[in-house]
Amino acid sequence: CAMATECAPKAASDLRVAPTKCPGTAPTKLGYEIKALLGSGTEGVIYVAAHRDTGRHIALKIYRDAQAPLVEVLRLQNQELQHECILLNQPVVEKEGRIKVAISDLCEQDLLDMVQKQKPARLTRDQAYALAAQSCSGLAHAHEEGWYHLDLKPENIFMNTAENGGLQMRVADWGCATKVMPNGDCIPHSKICGTAMYWPPEVIAKGGRTSDEESLSAVDSWSLGVTILTLATGRHPWDYAIKKDEQFRAFALLRRELTEALRQKRGKLSDAATPKGASYAQVLAKLKKLLGWPFNNSADALFTSVLMLLEIDAARRPSLTAMRPVFQRLHARNSARISRVVAPFAEEGEKDVLCGLVSPGTKRRHMDLTGASCPPAPSLPEDGGKRRRVERHPTQYLSSQSTTLS
């Protein structure tokens, strides 16, 4: 999928000068005047354009012939994915059943660009709550319509500044999206997901492929969790969700330990089930330290909600439809400036004890957001195995049977 950024820099000086000749004559015939080159990708080239009569500025995308999407796909997306937290391309020129030119609303920037300009280079607490609530809302709406994004990452979420000074975030770039029809068929038929760094373990095991609608839903849940962590901490939590990745393996072991610690606290396990002294609060503190979670204990509810999305076992990973009210409620409480939000799985007043996890000298394999591009993806094995996904309410996931990373 193309990852071209459909956003507008705040100052005109940030825009590269548009070429004197624009490919084709479509913009002129449509009444648009090309103002600047915005970006390019494998799918095509994106320009800032203004309508001659209304002066409205839009992002105008001209597709390359080999990458042009099917007319039926974009039309179906525009019929079913209308939502304030979703940004779509609207087809305006068609040729032989494929889209040649599409337009979309012009946004200020994508979230990766936004955090790279901030100091420190990460989301603020308020921005993190807004990202979780709004992105989950848009994706949950898409899932209810049978659409699955499959390429969620910071570059594919765009933002505008609202009148009240807050952020309006919109999930964009639906080029990898799959629609599951009532009869089980998929449009388009490819189920290969976009970016390996944001793949869950079960997708990596299958070489980037998914097997059914429930697994498609689980992919978006995981990708949103990784995206929130990446933007909130200013660094990628791991390179790939594989056991050879030291950072991911440490996370997976602690994630399992957190589940067992909670079950022990609820009286469902003997004291020997977890290491001596490893309370739920201590394990949670280890995870926060490992991942670089920057916010204080009043944001523990957001952190534990993100951990729900990062359930290793896809069959027990909560859907974004189930998580939508959770993130919306947390965002509303944060907006109301409630001083303390109790984590959904921690007892009120329980004190976090920061404990060391990675020994000195351990090599960290994550990359920060200001670093170089992602290294090439490793060779990924294929596995045709399938798992049935059981729908659960978010508050049930930690009390379920834990799964050992294999």
Q: Tell me: do 19 and 132 sit in the same domain.
A: no
The rounded distance, in Å, linking the Cα atoms of 387 and 139 is 23
pTM above 0.85, yes or no: no
Q: Tell me: do 62 and 175 sit in the same domain.
A: no
- Asked which of 53, 81, 106 is the last residue of a domain, the reply is 106
Q: Tell me: do 117 and 98 sit in the same domain.
A: no
The rounded distance, in Å, linking the Cα atoms of 187 and 204 is 22
The per-residue pLDDT for 394 is 40
Neighbours of 59 (CB within 10 A): 25
Domain presence at residue 7: no
Residues of the chain with pLDDT under 70: 1-29, 42, 66-69, 96-97, 189-191, 211, 267-277, 337-406
The per-residue pLDDT for 212 is 77
Q: 390-404 burial, b if ≥16 CB within 10 A, otherwise e?
A: eebebeebbeeebbe
The per-residue pLDDT for 185 is 83
Nearest to 8 by CA among 102, 85, 106, 88: 106
Q: Tell me: do 325 and 390 sit in the same domain.
A: yes
Structural domain that includes position 202: 110-399
Residues paired with residue 322 on neighbouring β-strands, in sequence order: none
- Asked which of 106, 133, 158 is the last residue of a domain, the reply is 106
Q: In the numeric block, which tokens belong to residue 19?
A: 């070429």
